[in-house]
Structures are given as C-alpha cells and as structure tokens.
Homo-oligomer: A and B are copies of this chain.
Amino acid sequence: MSPLAKLLEAALFASARPVPTEELAVLDPDASPAALQAALDELREHYDTDGHGVELSDIGGGWQILTRPEYTETIERAQLALRPTRLTAASLETLAIIAYRQPIGRAEIEEIRGVNVAAVLRSLLERGLIEATGRGEGLGRPLLYGTTPQFLEQFALRHLDELPRADEFAVALRAEPRPV
C-alpha cells in the first residue's frame, strides 16, 4: 500500500468512531483532497480484494473500519465483543418520527404515536441517538429534539438525506381494492 494509505489505516485503527475526511486530512497536510480520496479508495480496495476480516466504510459522517458481517456471530459467541441491544418498537417509532420531522417536540411526537413518549425519549437520549437541539415556540417553550451523528453511525448512514423520502412511502392503505 502507499505510505498515505498505511498512515490512514493506522489512524482509522486507532479510532473507535468514524473519522471525518477533514480530520484525516490533518494527518498529511501535503496531501491533496484527491490524493486522500485515492488513498482511501486504495485501502478499501485492499481490504476487499486481499481477503481481510475487516472493511472500510464511510458512514456516520466519517470513515470507519468495521468487521465483516460474516464473523459477527462467531465473535459474539466467543464473547470477545457484544452487539448492541436492539431498539424496541416504541423506540424505533419515536426515532423514526424524530429522524423525519426534526426538530420536533415531545407533544408533536405523542400526537403522531398516540402514546406518552417521555420514557422512550429518555432512553434515546441516554443512548446518544437524539439530542435536544433547541426550544420551540409556544407554551413553556418546549424542547425540540433531533438526531445525533451517533444515530447516523448506528444506522450506517452517511447523511440524513440517505433516508428514503417520506413521500416515497406507500401511504395509501387501501389494503384490498374494494369494489365500490
């Protein structure tokens, strides 16, 4: 591999979080953006073609080395690492609403879900998937919530706009075409 690709590998191995391109650029101030991208491509290629247990991904606003999915179960069974627990249906629903409607306050989320979401919000905040991003207008200036970079990382997204657009969903719920 090229010296720059090796340096990037070393830096990415030393980080538990995705590292944004700008931060990687600091490693070698002489490298042009094109050279940096070429080295990242080289590293990715190397992992893919040379039979490695890890791969390079660009999610969560940065670059990150991750293990390949085929090893996950084995690693977990050997108790060397644990997958994070799954989110509950209630958490996922709340998170989906926040992801699509941010910034959004608690009352509005409850209006959409039809249930109290205080406990769910607390657990999403604790997991670092959402954060308070400001305060809304109106009575008591309610807190508004938005998703965090960690949300992107945990859902393997580069940007929020990689989510399918809401209007792409098949909203029409005519379950069965009914003869009228």
What is the interface of chain A, defined by CB distance below 8 A to chain B? 1, 5-11, 13-16, 19, 23, 26-29, 50-54, 65-68, 71-72, 74-75, 77-82, 116, 118-119, 122, 125-126, 128, 131
Q: Do B128 and A11 have beta carbons less than 8 Å apart?
A: no
Q: Do B71 and A6 have beta carbons less than 8 Å apart?
A: yes
Q: Do A67 and B10 have beta carbons less than 8 Å apart?
A: yes
Chain B residue with minimal CB distance to A128? B119
Q: Do A81 and B26 have beta carbons less than 8 Å apart?
A: yes
Report the minimum CB–CB distance from A16 to chain B (whole Å).
6
Residues of B within 8 A of A7 (CB): 53, 71, 74
Question: A46 to B91, alpha carbons, bound, how many Å?
Answer: 41
Question: A10 to B131, alpha carbons, bound, how many Å?
Answer: 27
- Lowest 10 CB-CB distances: which A-B pairs, in order? A10-B53, A9-B53, A10-B71, A10-B67, A6-B53, A14-B81, A118-B126, A15-B80, A26-B78, A1-B51
Report the minimum CB–CB distance from A22 to chain B (whole Å).
9
Chain B residue with minimal CB distance to A15? B80
Copies in the complex: 2
**Given A1-B51, A6-B52, A27-B74, A11-B119 contact (CB < 8 Å):** no
Q: Do A19 and B80 have beta carbons less than 8 Å apart?
A: yes
**Given A1-B50, A53-B6, A80-B11 contact (CB < 8 Å):** yes
**Given A14-B81, A23-B78, A78-B27, A9-B119 contact (CB < 8 Å):** no
Q: Do A75 and B119 have beta carbons less than 8 Å apart?
A: no
Question: A23 to B14, alpha carbons, bound, how many Å?
Answer: 23
CB-contact partner of A52 in B1, B28, B116, B126, under 8 A = B1
Report the minimum CB–CB distance from A1 to chain B (whole Å).
5
